[in-house]
Each structure stands twice: as structure tokens, then as C-alpha cells.
Amino acid sequence: MNEQRRLNISVHNAEARENREILKDLINVNCFLAKQQLAFRSNDESSTSSNRGIYVEALHALAAKDERLSIHLETSTVFSGFSNIIQNDLIEAIGDVIRYDIKEISAAPFVAADVDGATDVTNKARRSL
């Protein structure tokens, strides 16, 4: 009985790790689109549409290079990540993390800016924060 329980826990933990990696990919796509100020969704996201929206197309582009994500998108029936409800939940969660970080920085007694100098192809100094 203990061996079966240990095996069940091991399988569960492996699936949880897999789900976390899939979730990271979904979050990364959401963050990328937000940084680029791109529209996430389109009117027709069906599998026959030639333009399923940037979010869905970005996930498929990422899946083309990631076998784990590709298999998940092809086989998942419950949680594929394409649902607008899932996407809105992810956007809300990302916003919560950003708001928390802003509050934490605002509460700090001081803030330091890390300035890094580099040169570009014209050999002119560039500064980035």
C-alpha cells in the first residue's frame, strides 16, 4: 500500500511540474503581448480561422519549438490555455504581482538605480536602466 501511495505522489508531482511549465509559457506569452501593447484576441479563434489572434498564434509559434507545449496544446481537453477566461485570469494574476511589487518598492526607504553603460555599433555610449 505504501509503495502504491508513493508512486501516486510521484506521478502527481511530475504532472504538477509539467503544468507549472505550461503555465509559465502561457504567462510569458501574456507578458510579451502586454509589453508590445498588442491585442490579444481576434473575433474568430476557431481552428479553421486563418487569424486566430496574436495570443493563440504566439502559443502555436512557441509550441513549434517546444515539444512539451505542442503535445499539451494538441491533447489537452480541460486546460489548453486558449480560453479567454483562463487568459483573463492570467492577466489579473500578473497585474496582482505587479501591483504587489510596486507597493513593495514604494514602501522602501530608498531606491537604487543600476546603470549599465555599453557602446552600440557606432561606438557611442548608451545608457540603460
Between residues 52 and 117, the one the model is more confident about: 52
Q: What is the pLDDT of residues 5-33, one digit of tens each?
A: 877 778 777 777 888 888 899 899 988 98
Q: pTM score, two decimals?
A: 0.63
Cα 26 to its chain centre, rounded Å, is: 4
Q: What is the pLDDT of residue 15?
A: 79
- Give the C-alpha separation, 42 to 51, whole Å: 7
Residue whose C-alpha is closest to residue 41's, from 19, 57, 27 = 57
List Cα–Cα distances, 112 to 99, 104, 106, 128, 129, in angstroms: 19, 14, 12, 14, 10
Q: What is the pLDDT of residue 125?
A: 56
Give the start-to-end residue ranges of the domains of the chain: 2-108
**Residue 64 contacts by C-beta under 8 Å, 6 or more apart in sequence?**
70
